[in-house]
Structure 1
Amino acid sequence: MEKNNLNNNIPKELFVPLVRKEDTSDKISAPSRTFFQDAKRTLLGNKPAVFSMILILFIIIMSIVGPWMNDFGSDEQDLKRAKMPPRVPVLENVSWLGMDGTLSGKFQGKDVQQATAKANARFDNKEEFIDIKVLNKGDGTRNSAEVEATYRIYEAKDMKDTYFWFGSDALGRDQWTRLWEGTRVSLIIAFVAAVLDLVIGVSYGGISAFYGGRVDNVMQRIAEILVGIPNLVIILLMMLVLKPGIISIVIALSITGWIGMSRIVRGEVLKLKNQEFVLASRTLGTSNGTIIRKHLVPNISGIIIINTMFSVPGAIFFEAFLSFIGLGIVPPDASLGSLIDLGFDNLRLYPYMLVFPAIVISVLMIAFNIVGDGLRDAFDPKMHK
């Protein structure tokens, strides 16, 4: 009874009838998006991947315009200016950046005089251009005294108005120009090898899986034979047939590099070729080529893009490795690997010759891998919100 009285005391104005409108009941409030639109949104929301793409784009642009930003040619040699340290306008006033155009080192001796003599001998005995700072006066015993010497080499060689932004190498060639030209060569090799891997791998794996049976058995046995041949052996054979350079490296990378892509594509096509939409296309009389091109490849495009992106840093590293061991780009041509090899030989005395190409190749490797991870997340439907 009390419950009924409570309900009777509620004002009727609080009750509003629900009106169902047929034209709005099934209306979708948010705009529909395709799979690729979802992937794009996920990728652009990945800040590390976006930043990495900006870095890659910046390095690509610099590899094109960088060599034209100063007046030095990549093959312009002058032993007078050999092994000059980095010197950059404005930044030369900030000594701790290492861009002030000086060479420095610490020298030890039984006393300050002996340590200073070693410093002078190291820097061509040009005492008027060498600043000595005593770190330890010593006690007369062996190597107890220590001094720090700073050599103003640009002044010593009467090159006060000359700037080598990344220094110069042992033949006096500008490292800035050679670095970006070498980066361009490495990127060309990597992208061409990646495209060839993409074309050959997708075609080979798709045809093998789609036709199956005896065709698949024969094609996979051929792939197994090729993958069993070490890449280094192929490179050595290419060196005998072709001259060392971009063409021989690209061919060597392409001979076996596509096999990984073909296996991935084969596995995806084997899963898709018996699904309903493929069977319906066959029933309608669609040709095999059209089914592969318009139905199967678009459905595996995500995994293709991801693996292509991961193959680029692998090709960059492989080229650098070959050039480092002397089987890649041959001087006077430059690549990141050949520059790192030259810098490694001068690491103790002129570390800047190694630092800059090592930074560029490290940034490229990390950036491409981060972008690859971002693409993998973007093309994974489980990651979409």
Structure 2
Amino acid sequence: MDNNRLSKDLFVLKEKQNDDVDKISRPSTTFLQDATRSLLRNIPAMVSIVALLVIIIMSFIGPKMNDYGYDDQDLSRAKMPARIQLFEDISWLGFAGTLSGTFEGATVEEATQNALSRYGGNEEFIDIEIKNEGNGTKDSAKVDATYRIYEAKDMEESYFWFGTDSLGRDQWTRAWQGTKISLYIAFLAAAIDLVIGVAYGGISAYYGGRVDNVMQRIIEILIGIPNLVVVILMIIILKPGIISITIALTITGWIGMARIVRGEVLKLKNQEFVLASRTLGSPDRKIIMRHLIPNVTGLIIINTMFTIPSAIFFEAFLSFIGLGLAPPEASLGTLIESGFKSLQIYPYMLVFPAILISIIMIAFNILADGLRDAFDPKMHD
């Protein structure tokens, strides 16, 4: 068909709509808004945030929820199991306020006697259930014994939600007090990372040359000194406690952050926006604080989130080996250390602080993973 013979009536002229030419179909968002939206969609990360907020709030109000101080000692209530109102009749939850165990003997009578001797001979408060009568040769007799210790000590109106330790101190109060101290040490480590590590790494990378060489040699010297050695030296000079742990973290805890920030700033300092700012006469301090550091903020936040559980574990490890806080101060590490000594007989002394520290460390790691995904542009839809 000859196109020249087509009638103009077959075509409709489309008028130009100036209002729609530059119209954006989707509202523009900043990088921070994109990261926030991505984080809010991450259900595990949001659950972790809620769990951490609850734990942080409870670390302040938990010790005030009863009349027992974290250092109130009373041997008459020593090693009382956990007992909570409304849950005391549900034995499988572990809050019934009873001690139970399985005892063996050549005969049922001998196994029963072992149970009675274990629980102080209070026969009227001990429930015995025969598990295996044995045959007197290969199989020994076994009985399950349940000791109603609150009734035996005439404390039926008392409730210790996490039980008590060997000195009669309330474990609920000490657990939340210990959580507060552990979180303090963790956030202190994060603050040291932010203040010292970010500043040191940024200055070292930005100036480069001889300044960078000298500052990196200092880091190499410090990184060769294990944290445990630094803590031992602090204990020799001072004494076990928060101050010695704080100084140890201040000396060596910021090195990892400094090296990460240095690597990122080295990649950014020769880019066009930095060269333009330098050409316009901006001082070095302004370039570092307003151009370089904001561009590595995502990486800083992510590594800070990973620093917090590491610091909590570091404090717990020191307390477990006897180099952490000194009694009567409480932390999750000291509670785990004291509970480990009575694990077989009084497992509740270890279970509750172990659950708390596990939740804190898992929540921070999940949150750090969520932040890493949120600040990674490649992970966005």
TM, length-normalised to structure 2: 0.96
User: 1:306 aligned to 293, 302, 317, which one?
Assistant: 302
Once the two structures are superposed, residues 197-224 of structure 1 have per-residue CA deviations (whole angstroms, 9 ceiling, x without a partner) of 1110111011001000000000000000
> 1:111·1:143 contact (CA, 8 Å) conserved in 2?
no
Once the two structures are superposed, residues 309-345 of structure 1 have per-residue CA deviations (whole angstroms, 9 ceiling, x without a partner) of 1100000000000000000011110000000000000
**Equivalent residue, structure 2, for 1:78:** 74
Structure 2: unaligned runs, 5 residues or longer: none
**Equivalent residue, structure 2, for 1:256:** 252
User: 1:25 aligned to 21, 39, 49, which one?
Assistant: 21
Distance 1:70 1:337 in 2: 23
Pairwise CA distance, 1:140: 2.0
Pairwise CA distance, 1:18: 4.1
Q: Is 1:38 aligned to 2:38, yes or no?
A: no
Pairwise CA distance, 1:143: 5.6
**Equivalent residue, structure 2, for 1:4:** none
Structure 1: unaligned runs, 5 residues or longer: 2-6
Distance 1:317 1:148 in 2: 37
TM, length-normalised to structure 1: 0.95
User: 1:60 aligned to 43, 56, 61, which one?
Assistant: 56
Distance 2:351 2:97 in 1: 16
User: 2:179 aligned to 180, 183, 190, which one?
Assistant: 183
**Equivalent residue, structure 1, for 2:328:** 332
Distance 1:242 1:35 in 2: 47
Distance 2:126 2:12 in 1: 93
**Equivalent residue, structure 2, for 1:292:** 288
Pairwise CA distance, 1:384: 1.4
Give the aligned residue type for 1:67: P
Distance 2:130 2:215 in 1: 72
Query: How many residue pairs are counted as aligned between the two chains?
Result: 377
Pairwise CA distance, 1:80: 0.6
**Equivalent residue, structure 1, for 2:319:** 323
Once the two structures are superposed, residues 96-139 of structure 1 have per-residue CA deviations (whole angstroms, 9 ceiling, x without a partner) of 10100000000111111111000000000000000000111121
Alignment RMSD (CA, Å) = 1.7
Q: Is 1:120 aligned to 2:116, yes or no?
A: yes
> 1:39·1:378 contact (CA, 8 Å) conserved in 2?
yes
User: 2:126 aligned to 124, 130, 148, which one?
Assistant: 130
SS of match in other structure, 1:42: helix
Distance 1:350 1:224 in 2: 46
Distance 2:357 2:200 in 1: 31
Q: Is 1:47 aligned to 2:27, yes or no?
A: no
**Equivalent residue, structure 1, for 2:241:** 245
Deviation >3 Å, runs of 4+: 15-20
SS of match in other structure, 1:83: coil
Distance 1:17 1:369 in 2: 61
Distance 2:309 2:43 in 1: 20
Q: Is 1:173 aligned to 2:169, yes or no?
A: yes
Give the aligned residue type for 2:233: L
Distance 1:292 1:115, change over 3 A: same
> 1:102·1:154 contact (CA, 8 Å) conserved in 2?
yes
User: 2:374 aligned to 374, 378, 385, which one?
Assistant: 378
